[in-house]
Structure 1
Amino acid sequence: MQNWKRLLMLIAAVIIGLATVLLASGIALTNFIVDFWWHDGLDYGGYFWLKLLYRYILSGSVTLFFFLIFFLNFWAASRYLGIDETAFSRLGHSEGNRYRRLLKLFQTGSMRVYTPLSLILAVLIAIPFYKQWDAALLFLFAPSAGIPDPVFGNDVSFYMFAYPIFTLIQRELLIASIIVSVAIALLYWIEHRLLPGERKEWPIGARIHLSGIIVITALIMAWGFMLYRFGLLYTDVHEPQFFGPGFIELRYHLPLIWLSILTLLGAVLAGLFYVHKGTGLTVLVSMILLFVASIGIRQIDIIPDLIDRFVVKPNPVKVEQAFMQNNIDATLTAYELNDIKIIDVMPALPDRDILDQTFREHLYNIPVWDPEYLDEVYQQLQGIRPYYRFPNVDIARYVINDRLEQVNLSAREVNIDKLPAEAQNWENTHLRYTHGYGAVITPAAQDGETPMKWFLRDLRMESGVGFTVEKPDIYFGEENLPYAIVPNLLSVVGISSFDEESSYNYTGSGGVPISSFFRRLLFAIYFRDRNLFFSYNIRGDSRALFHRNIIDRIKRLTPYLSLDNDPYAVVTPKRIYWIVDAYTTSSLYPVSKTTSTRFNRESEDKPFNYIRNSVKIVVDAFDGNVDYYVANPNDPIIQGYRRAFPGVFKNMSSMSPMLREQLRYPKDMFTTQMSVYARYHQTDPAQFFQQSETWDFATVNDSVMKPFYFTTYLLEGLREPENFVLINPMTPIGRSNLSVLAVAGTPAARGRTDFSKEIVLYRFSREIQVEGPSQVSALIDQDPEIARQFALWDQKGSHVLRGRIIVLPVGRSVLYVQPVYIVSTGTTRIPELQRVILSMGNIVIMDASLEKGMERLQERLRELGPQIPPTPPTEPTEPPPPRMPEIRPMT
């Protein structure tokens, strides 16, 4: 009876185990199949297989390589294990057979042991290669950058692509060689220590085998020291003075590394000679002592401290000058800061009419509406239905009434969380409320005390300036949208759609077809949702739309690209699109300063010392199609990916002109560049060491000012007059006066087939005070008329909100503009633009209209009279050489 119970328990355990394995395998296989369908639905089926093949071919090749290393060494060692039959015969039959079986376990019959052991060890060694498959792709496909590093003279592509792979290979080879050395030595030790018989000399084959392993291990260690040299290029011990190697690293540590390499190889050769010949002990000991000394001295800080104390610190600029210059040059190149144009400005208030025709041409583009306040206005006035939401307000520029005008816009997306709790059921979530609809557009500049002006509004898509969208449905956007099944059999009423029948009649090509019960079953398993399988409302032509968040969608396709935090919508006559800026980064550009940024959908800051805005990504809000366009073809990283994945990354010339006109200089890129350039614009090593000209981001009320977009024709220095620019004011570090206006421009794309960008800095003279944003904010606070008006508004059930300060260059002066909003203190809080504050010099004006405010500001400036800048100090000239006294004859 007990045996039957045990048998039944064993059968049950086997069945449960098999079921578990089958279920896990089925889920894994389901994920694989659905993932392929998803890629194939986006026309990236070939790309899916390429990614898969690259990952598994690379990791599989590495696994096979290490398997052969382990297996062949075990097999070779088993060849040299000898059987002393005479010794076995003296032990007796039973004991002799036991030792024979033990020895055979380590001999040729043991391949059934060595084979799985070698495979397990090889898989463990190959795991890091599987995780870094994309780095291996760049190692194989990325071209040379054509830029030598300043220390060793290697192309920087060696450090970005080859160096990390070589380091990984060296580390794993060293681990493998140590494992092999220990295992082989253990096998030979077993023969000579555990097995019976007289101990005899090791076979010559075994000695050669062990010697070869030792030599290979030594060569791998020497290779590690060679690679360690390159690690000196990333040292940060000299921070905050400069980044990279200095005098001590290149004049002290580097020679010791070479000494370590030579003494290691010498010690190994001397050791082998001593083992095989029995002579050369003195040379062996000397090499070992030298090797240990070279390692030990590098670990002792006494000598470097003495060098630093008596050589470097007394003469830091003279000693470290060349190394600081290396850091400056490399950093400027790595962050694409070499071509910045600097325009020195001698500040002066305008001595002419500041409201001339040139200035009037861009007055209507001043962005007086803050996106953070405008978002609430859109939601309150244009949300219309509870399930619609505006996740973000974007900036764009369109030709309106024959002029290029800056606008604010936002896409109206669906948000199920806004529905009543009882309405948040499965059918509503996945079959009814499947998409958003349309967008709203307003001009960037508006006057206070007037109703909001709309260029595009309402669900009927009303526009008085010609905006039309053929298919305004938004199935893919910035919201975290659940999967949707469209079209379906539900009778949906009241949900806006371009289709004449109803919103469930999806006519797009996005998603994956659910054309059979097998597919329904797989999708039910994939989404862990049984309702999808049992629902009667799914049609034969229904499609599953999933991964509908545009960032999630892009990250699943190209996880090796870093994404900007500000995707933006583009409204075209056909449909609505999303554009996302993508970056290629590296943390291995030699001698370049490391910084960090948290990119979109990343959980922590990502460190890097090289960045390029190499890709512009376009996502169709209706179909979900994703297209990649190369914006910087000179970037070796994106060139490597283009070679590895043909057809994925397209030329910019193939982008629709309507989309190309909306491309911009991304904020994350500009902010990163300016945070680095704030210090590295000091290209003279002496000034760089002193940090006397270091800048900082301007602040207002302890909040850092963010760059803002502005469409202008006026800024001098840019190659083309018509630009869409980012403006970022900067101040001297620790001070509040304005030092620099940094402008990142995107020339007009009309007629262009590429993407062009440039940075111009307007640097104000240090001899004249130019008020910074925080100082202007203080002037506004101190203005009695403004203070009285604010106090009056605050007493009438409303609250005053002051928007961001906008900084604009006007001639050789700076115009500050700050909007003032009023918001109710009640439950419905809709910000209303009430006034605009303008400031130039020490003058502060507040008015409801931009143009009237400018007229009042102009009158105040006229009262001051013409402002003539002081003559800049002239350079001192050398005194004339002394004249020789005239010699006259005595009379």
Structure 2
Amino acid sequence: MPSSIPVGTIEKSYFAQICIELRFSMFGFPGQPFPRPQEGGAPKPPEGPPREPINLKEMITPMRITLFALLALVVGFYYLSDFVTEILWFNQIGAQQVFWTRWLVIIGLVLLGTIVNASIVGINMQIAYKNRPTSHSVNYNPQLREYQRQLEPFRKLVFIAVPLFIGFTTGTALAADWDQILLWWNSTPFGQTDPQWGVDLSFYMFTLPVLQMLFYLLTRVFVASLLATVVVHYLYSGIVLFPRFRVSKRARLQLGILAALVSLIVAGRYWIGRYLLLTSEGGRIDGALYQQVNAQIPAQTILTVTSILVAILFIVAAFRGSWHLPATGVAVTVVSALVVGFVYPTLIQEFKVKPNERALESPYIQRNIDATLDAYGIKDVELQSYSAKTETSAGQLRDDAASTQQIRLIDPDVVSPTIRQLKQSRSYYTFESQLSVDRYEIDGVKRDTVIAVRELNLDGLDENERNWVNEHTIFTHGYGVVAAYGNKVDSKGEPAWWEEGIPSMGDMGEYEQRVYFSPSSPQYSIVGAPQGAKPLELDYPDEASDGQVPTTFEGDGGPSVGNFFNKLLYAIKFQSTNIFFASQINEKSQILYDRDPALRVAKVAPYLTLDRKPYPAVVDMDGDPKTPKRLVWIVDAYTTSNHYPYAQHVNIAQTTVDSSTKESEFYAADLEINYIRNSVKAVVDAYDGSVKLYQWDEKDPVLSSWMKTFPGKVQPLSEISGDLMAHMRYPQDLFKVQRSLLAAYHVTKADNFYTGGDRWRLSENPTSARRADGVTPYQPPYYLTMQMPGQDSAEFSLTSVFVPGGKSDREPMAGFLAVDSETGSEPGKIREGYGKLRLLALPSSTTVPGPGQVQNNFNANSEIARELNLLDQEGSELILGNLLTLPVGGGLLYVQPVYLQGTGSTKYPVLRKVMTAFGDSVGFADTLEESLDATFKGDSAAQLADGEQPSADPAAPSEGEPSGDSAGSTATNSQVVKLLQEAKTALLDGEKALQAGDWATYGEKQKLMKQKLEEALKLETKK
């Protein structure tokens, strides 16, 4: 390199000059260098006249001050209105503790982080300035003197602004983890330890994330302090780069101490990194495996000690004046990090682990298996080998009445248009596109039910009716529910309703039918009036009067807008002057907003992860039969974490996506987790929007920590009424996560798990079209009342199926999973057996068609294909319903309803056919009974629900105005035929008993035959 550098064009920017000089001096980069001194002389002065200092007084004028103040006032009031209305909302719903705790903690963390970190940076900058050398003590640089002169008017401002900026960014980063800090502060022990260090799991779940965050922020602030201190010392000649490098004693002392602190922080990060390895993601197997335990953990320990030694060397150098030792220490640390932290573990993995992977990794794979099963609540799965039959015979379903009686023919994802056409009543009502499946007691018997809420839909109003008064003060709520048997249809193939109409009539009993809070509710409605005032809201349409019945909201569902200040706030919030000037608003008016049940729960409990699908239920909330029941929304809520040691990570959004997935903006769409519990059941009242949180998992330490943080917000399990308990169920999203893991983790021995030969995968939904990315979505889980092999009785369950993993196109059935979803009806007590997971594993020697193969068998059957082609003709559209799977008859039975609808604007699907399959035998008929008989050699002997099918002669596709009910004699005929078949079965069973000499059974069968014949005769005489 030449001894002198041509000056070239000198940049006038103060900051650019510093950066250029530092770049040249430290790295020798060519470019536009800072003017260096000529040999034997001083540096060349800058060209051109000196720059005049900026006059701030001339820039600040009264007009500019006024405009800025007005702008700040408008913006400030806008954000203030949003903040104050949030306070009003939380006060009204009774969750002000959540609001203030969260915001005070966030504000406190921002202030704490800003003050502490700004102080660290600011004090170091000030120390550097105070310890600047005099002009006589160093070889002074005139160029720096010019920069100092230009900086001096702003120096105090810079010395405040820079630390505040660094402190504020650090404080906001700290506040972003407010929830993790609160969890740590209120942590609850797990009572379990990790297999590597023997530390309680609460350290990983609560403490370690906070330590990781603090070490990261400390690194940021002390590195920033070090850099800021270097800059200040350089500007004021504490550091001189030329003609020879020199550092003043005071600068050396300060920088040495700061460098030592940074090195100690790095040592701390290496130390906690040893624990973080246990929660790390590793692809197929998460957690610390052989290489991490035997190479990376020792490497982290070595680097920890090395960093501490380097810190000591920096302290020594600060006092002795030589930077050679710490520089050598830093170099050794860097080399160690490369060799010990990267090269050595890589060599261990390549030359020791890979050749002996199965033997070496097995103990650590077992750790992963055990932790995963525990973290996801699947360690107590009841695994049963199930040699499913594929041959069929007459009478094969005789002993499966508990399951066959509740076979669901109504597909909740298909029949929503049918309910809209038949039960919507007015265009300003609507039903969800995906209905809910629940169970209700009707005539003393629990029945699987498809239920839908009649919600308000302002988009259904005519254009000339779309005005502010109508949309926000008249049309304010939906009305009632519609419920149909899950296993029945009427003679036209339409759902068999047992609750319908406006007002609602049926077997539900008396309940509050007005729906002010639902997923489809308007953005806001203004309701309420003084007692005795004329009602303004439309309650429900009434053909017998003037077309509508009015009402006035009488609950406590929203903040008051009856005063000047609140009206002004909400007029700003919703950007509507009508709120401020409308004459309909009075001193009793309330404004209802944030009306989606999931949103209300998300705001009241921001620490919970919500299920995608809230579902409605009509329940007795207080156990008092004298008070009307309430229509509520039940929202399953989860506590989650991604810090459980050794547990496998999953993306909760990806694992819960299937063909029926409903997107929700209140759902954590991209959350990585390795721990989940359904710890809370949230209930939102559809009339007044009140939110109640119930503790569902009393053993979850994460929820216990949150209950310490927000005492009194989550009510104990004992507060759940018996009727509400009866409508709780096992949540879908939790089940989806669990089934995705059980595809691999049904294998619980490490050696077998490693080979992966018995891995499964979820079945694609054979009735769903491929997405744009070429992927067919998975089959969703289905709620069914059924009895698993070995189970004492039929219970409301959630089910799913598996097919073999790998890249093969063959998809035979590999496994069938069901979880007991029946909660019981005892107040404050979950029924024993709820949540029990049962898995039927089909041996490889048994080949049972999977869902895709069964669908292909249906399509390949010439008779079925011909019939479907006839149905799917011009003017009609064929829709295949959900393909259900039931473990009955010693094997696996498939049932699929077939719907038909017209092609006009008022089309809606009705049930026309039913397809069934068992092994390779298929059935296709107008009724489920006939289809099963065709599958099982002419007589399945299945006991089914009465009147579950349409007539044998399929009507034209449903289109146009819906007709009224006309079950008539067709349903009666079906019942008579069924009773006669049951009498025939009793006769045959009696004859077999007689031949065997079993006189007692013979007598019982004779009585049963006589009973069935008498019942058939009574029905026949009524026709």
Q: TM-score, normalised by structure 2?
A: 0.76
Q: Distance in 2 between matches of 1:244 and 1:494?
A: 59
**Closer, same or farther: CA 218–834 of 1 in aligned 2, 3 Å:** same
**Closer, same or farther: CA 219–497 of 1 in aligned 2, 3 Å:** farther
How far residue 143 of structure 1 moved from its aligned partner, in angstroms, is: 1.3
How far residue 490 of structure 1 moved from its aligned partner, in angstroms, is: 8.1
Q: Is the 8 A contact 2:526 2:592 kept in 1?
A: yes
Alignment of 1:154-303 (within 5 A): 154-188=199-233, 209-237=254-282, 239-240=283-284, 242-277=285-320, 287-297=329-339
Indicate the larger mover: 766-775 or 401-410.
766-775
Q: Is the 8 A contact 1:397 1:711 kept in 2?
A: no
* 759, 765, 773: which one aligns with 2:851: 773
Letter in 2 for 1:636: P
- Give yes or no for the alignment of 1:758 onto 2:836: yes
How far residue 553 of structure 1 moved from its aligned partner, in angstroms, is: 2.0
* 678, 684, 688: which one aligns with 1:623: 688
* 800, 803, 827: which one aligns with 1:731: 803
Q: Distance in 2 between matches of 1:259 and 1:299?
A: 9
Q: Distance in 1 between matches of 2:353 and 2:460?
A: 65
- Give yes or no for the alignment of 1:555 onto 2:555: no
**Closer, same or farther: CA 611–209 of 1 in aligned 2, 3 Å:** same
Query: What residue in structure 2 maps to residue 889 of structure 1?
Result: none
Percent same amino acid at aligned positions?
A: 27
Letter in 2 for 1:728: S
Q: Distance in 1 between matches of 2:589 and 2:604?
A: 24
Query: What residue in structure 1 maps to residue 648 of structure 2?
Result: 593
* 360, 363, 376: which one aligns with 1:335: 376
Q: Distance in 1 between matches of 2:362 and 2:609?
A: 35
Query: What residue in structure 2 maps to residue 883 of structure 1?
Result: none
C-alpha offsets along residues 138-188 of structure 1, whole Å, 9 cap, x if unaligned?
A: 121121223322333333322232222212211221222123233344545
* 746, 752, 763: which one aligns with 2:821: 746
Secondary structure of residue in 2 paired with 1:822: strand
How far residue 299 of structure 1 moved from its aligned partner, in angstroms, is: 6.9
**Closer, same or farther: CA 514–309 of 1 in aligned 2, 3 Å:** closer
**Closer, same or farther: CA 125–374 of 1 in aligned 2, 3 Å:** same
Q: Is the 8 A contact 2:479 2:515 kept in 1?
A: yes
Secondary structure of residue in 1 paired with 2:498: coil
Letter in 2 for 1:653: S
Query: What residue in structure 1 maps to residue 30 of structure 2?
Result: none
* 81, 84, 97: which one aligns with 1:33: 84
Alignment of 1:414-493 (within 5 A): 414-447=456-489, 449-450=491-492, 452-463=495-506, 466-479=507-520, 481-487=522-528, 492=536
Letter in 1 for 2:924: M
**Closer, same or farther: CA 583–194 of 1 in aligned 2, 3 Å:** closer
Alignment of 1:124-143 (within 5 A): 124-143=169-188
**Closer, same or farther: CA 50–289 of 1 in aligned 2, 3 Å:** closer
Query: What residue in structure 1 maps to residue 708 of structure 2?
Result: 643
Q: Is the 8 A contact 1:431 1:490 kept in 2?
A: no
Indicate the larger mover: 380-389 or 207-216.
207-216
Letter in 1 for 2:116: F
Q: Is the 8 A contact 2:368 2:648 kept in 1?
A: yes
Query: What residue in structure 2 maps to residue 496 of structure 1?
Result: 540
- Give yes or no for the alignment of 1:657 onto 2:722: yes
Unpaired segments ≥5 residues, structure 2: 1-56, 620-627, 654-662, 767-775, 942-1023
Query: What residue in structure 1 maps to residue 788 of structure 2?
Result: 715
Q: Distance in 2 between matches of 1:862 and 1:578?
A: 40
Query: What residue in structure 2 maps to residue 45 of structure 1?
Result: 96
Query: What residue in structure 2 maps to residue 525 of structure 1?
Result: 572
How far residue 753 of structure 1 moved from its aligned partner, in angstroms, is: 2.1
Unpaired segments ≥5 residues, structure 1: 1-5, 864-891
Q: Is the 8 A contact 2:804 2:812 kept in 1?
A: yes
- Give yes or no for the alignment of 1:313 onto 2:354: yes
How far residue 321 of structure 1 moved from its aligned partner, in angstroms, is: 1.6
How far residue 567 of structure 1 moved from its aligned partner, in angstroms, is: 0.8
C-alpha offsets along residues 4-57 of structure 1, whole Å, 9 cap, x if unaligned?
A: xx9999333222211111111111221121111111111112332222222222
Query: What residue in structure 1 maps to residue 72 of structure 2?
Result: 21
Letter in 1 for 2:783: Y
- Give yes or no for the alignment of 1:397 onto 2:418: no
How far residue 68 of structure 1 moved from its aligned partner, in angstroms, is: 3.4
How far residue 772 of structure 1 moved from its aligned partner, in angstroms, is: 1.8
Letter in 1 for 2:338: G
Q: Distance in 1 between matches of 2:797 and 2:558?
A: 37
**Closer, same or farther: CA 274–505 of 1 in aligned 2, 3 Å:** closer
Q: Is the 8 A contact 2:728 2:823 kept in 1?
A: no
How far residue 765 of structure 1 moved from its aligned partner, in angstroms, is: 2.4
Query: What residue in structure 2 maps to residue 881 of structure 1?
Result: none
Q: Distance in 2 between matches of 1:284 and 1:206?
A: 16
Alignment of 1:351-430 (within 5 A): 353-356=395-398, 359-391=400-432, 392-430=434-472
**Closer, same or farther: CA 104–83 of 1 in aligned 2, 3 Å:** farther
Q: Is the 8 A contact 1:587 1:608 kept in 2?
A: yes
**Closer, same or farther: CA 117–772 of 1 in aligned 2, 3 Å:** closer
Q: Distance in 1 between matches of 2:476 and 2:298?
A: 67
Q: Is the 8 A contact 1:366 1:445 kept in 2?
A: yes
RMSD across aligned positions (CA): 3.5
Q: Is the 8 A contact 1:233 1:590 kept in 2?
A: yes
**Closer, same or farther: CA 235–262 of 1 in aligned 2, 3 Å:** same
C-alpha offsets along residues 91-111 of structure 1, whole Å, 9 cap, x if unaligned?
A: 9xxx9xx99x989979xx987
Query: What residue in structure 2 maps to residue 884 of structure 1?
Result: none
**Closer, same or farther: CA 284–184 of 1 in aligned 2, 3 Å:** closer
**Closer, same or farther: CA 260–703 of 1 in aligned 2, 3 Å:** closer
How far residue 693 of structure 1 moved from its aligned partner, in angstroms, is: 0.6
Query: What residue in structure 2 maps to residue 782 of structure 1?
Result: 860
Q: Distance in 2 between matches of 1:45 and 1:54?
A: 14
Query: What residue in structure 1 maps to residue 48 of structure 2?
Result: none
Alignment of 1:832-843 (within 5 A): 832-843=910-921
How far residue 128 of structure 1 moved from its aligned partner, in angstroms, is: 0.4
Letter in 2 for 1:122: G
Q: TM-score, normalised by structure 1?
A: 0.86
Secondary structure of residue in 2 paired with 1:556: helix
Q: Distance in 1 between matches of 2:222 and 2:204?
A: 25
How far residue 802 of structure 1 moved from its aligned partner, in angstroms, is: 2.1
How far residue 71 of structure 1 moved from its aligned partner, in angstroms, is: 4.2
Q: Is the 8 A contact 2:286 2:648 kept in 1?
A: yes
Q: Distance in 2 between matches of 1:73 and 1:769?
A: 75
Q: Is the 8 A contact 2:721 2:827 kept in 1?
A: no
Q: Distance in 2 between matches of 1:705 and 1:285?
A: 61
How far residue 480 of structure 1 moved from its aligned partner, in angstroms, is: 5.1
**Closer, same or farther: CA 404–374 of 1 in aligned 2, 3 Å:** same
How far residue 497 of structure 1 moved from its aligned partner, in angstroms, is: 8.2
Secondary structure of residue in 1 paired with 2:415: helix
C-alpha offsets along residues 212-239 of structure 1, whole Å, 9 cap, x if unaligned?
A: 33332221111111133334335545x3
How far residue 674 of structure 1 moved from its aligned partner, in angstroms, is: 0.9
How far residue 77 of structure 1 moved from its aligned partner, in angstroms, is: 4.9
Secondary structure of residue in 2 paired with 1:579: strand
C-alpha offsets along residues 573-613 of structure 1, whole Å, 9 cap, x if unaligned?
A: 42210001112222222222221133732484322222221
Query: What residue in structure 2 maps to residue 704 of structure 1?
Result: 778
Q: Is the 8 A contact 2:535 2:550 kept in 1?
A: no
* 582, 599, 611: which one aligns with 2:637: 582
How far residue 717 of structure 1 moved from its aligned partner, in angstroms, is: 4.9
* 608, 615, 631: which one aligns with 1:568: 615
Q: Is the 8 A contact 1:448 1:848 kept in 2?
A: no
How many residues end up aligned between the 2 structures? 835
**Closer, same or farther: CA 277–68 of 1 in aligned 2, 3 Å:** closer
Letter in 1 for 2:745: Y
